[in-house]
Structure 1
Amino acid sequence: MNADPGMTTILEGIERSSVQTERLTASVLTHPGEGAPVVLVHGNVSSSLFWQPLMLALPRPTIAIDLRGFGDSETLPVDATRGLRDFSDDVASVLDALGVAGAHVVGWSMGGGVVMQLLLDRPDLVRSLTLQAPVPPQGFGTRLDGSLCTPDAAGTGGGGANPDFVARLAAGDTSADEPTSPRSVYRASYVAAGFTDEHEDLWVESMLSTRTGADNYPGDGVASESWPGFAAGDRGILNTMSAKHLDLTGIVDVESKPPILWVRGAHDAIVGDESFFDLHTLGKHGIVPGWPGEEAAPPQPMIAQTRAVLDAYAAAGGAYEEVVFENAGHSPHLEDPPRFRELLLAHAAAADPAAP
């Protein structure tokens, strides 16, 4: 579906504008403040709308960018063979157009991978990095050491999306009548069980701004001789995060290493060491039949993989802090806003002591 900018819900105090770059027309939310800016990059099946309460709570200027095919930004095809570079290059083009020379960059879920790619390609834009529930740096379809479980990363990419969820996104379904409705998926997966707030309709609106199709969400897929019978294609969003195309472990070797804050929820249903968003986990638990066993198709240790890469980053001269929100799921910035705000501001201040 194509979002209608006139219908987008913008909270009082936030401004929305369109930024024309050499790559796309991007929708950007801003909120004023003092000091080096905070740049906020959303994840998959979401948009900049999810950042609004945090933006209002920060004393620094904040910039939240809708990625291509989300929110009110232009719908353009996503070339998955570039990993997440279509998105990170778009973010860089927006910051260049706005004249932002360096920022405290925050990425959530898929956005965590986008900002790691930004660090690899445009380190000049990154003063500090905050990763909230990030995609594992090795990409999906890998073992703890980052090696592929199968040469074609079977079980990853666009073929793994639930077709009924995709159809409900395209139809703009706001109900909670079925487990596959966006609202039900939000309640079950984006936040810990029992969490509620006054903005749920806004979060669902944000999810429904996702454009569907082979070039966007979820992307295409190809047949595989390995279980479960499909592998990542070359187009669209889910394929960008397959290890067939994505490898962000190069952050270990970047010359300039900004400090990294890694925030995650203890009850994250999406990013975990045995996540039910992983086909291998579904196979292990008998939900997808024919699982070939732990040796051939182990559940992906996403948390352990991220920690291993960040440990290597620290050993190579960088620094990172891992903070676990014990009562949160995939969205600590929604589930405990005061704590997230405090951590982010302290992290930014340590990297840029002259700013507030």
Structure 2
Amino acid sequence: MTAPPHTPLHRRRSSRLATMVAVLLTALAAVFATTAPAGATTPWQEADHNASTPDSPAMAYYLGSHIEVIRGQDNALWFNVDGGPFNHIGGVTYAAPTITSFNGQLWIWHTGQNGDVWGQSLANPNEPNHRRWYWNSPIQYRTQNIGGSGSAVRPTLGPAVAASPDHLHFIVVGANERIYHGFMDVNRNFSSWSEMPGGARTESAAGASTSPDGRLTVLHRGTDNRIYRQGLNLRNWQWDHNWQQMRNTNTNAAPSIAYNGHDGLMVEAWRDAGTGQILTSESLTYAAEATAPQGVPRGNNVASPSAPRVSSGPNGVDLTIRGGRFYDVQGHYFRDNVIYYIYNYYN
């Protein structure tokens, strides 16, 4: 920009200085907008706006990308990569699916129409065109007679899945509302199912995560709408044998949990039963010693008609939700059934 010929020299210098300062502040604002500190208001991203789900979406980080999987309005499985268009996988499920990596492979797991758990691994992860990704034929983890008398997993409740170096752990809810644990080894051999100790009952799916200290942590919604936690020591395969209540929790949906590698803690997320607001907390990795956390609203105080999902990311945890016709505190509109997400939610 050239100053008018009759502008005094000191005014031209001041104008140039003001322009340089404005450019610098704009650049700094852009930097801080993408590296907001923990606790700051975090921007949500909208995934493919043409996609829609009646349930909770799920997310995993794999080979440098974030992959989401949903149950579509057609009850089939769909996936996307880094917030892009959703692609059809197929199958039929009436529950929220889950996605995780195990033994170097990416897996999608869902509950089938008869209550069995089905899984598919990504067949060609090195294909750069994600629209050409395809998934291997599904394998079946039978749940018949899981609770006796021919019962199985409730078809409307998806499995919680968490990976350790040698096993992929499954937490499912039977038709009798009791909670069961099983696992798959690296050779794809499945264990028998066993009820978790403590006699808990729930009407929602469970949440599960492993951590480097050799623990599997499981969350469930109790019949009193409080969230309860129990851990399995993977070194000696001993459960805590009692469920620890997380105070200040009140939910009517499935809780979620993921390991936060950045801070070495567990992050829990849930939907408040009264307001629908998404609440989160951090706790110590060792479940039996963890201090009961407080619920903290994050990410512009959003709400959702379904449970949120947290998952481990490269720099913290990632969070994804289903939108539900609401405005956040800053006036942003979250459209009904559309998928929204935050990468590095706790960073």
TM-score, normalised with respect to structure 1: 0.25
Give the structure, 1 or 2, with the largest relative contact order (CA under 8 Å, sep 6 or more). Answer: 1
Q: Indicate the structure with greater strand content.
A: 2
Name the larger-Rg structure: 2
TM-score, normalised with respect to structure 2: 0.25
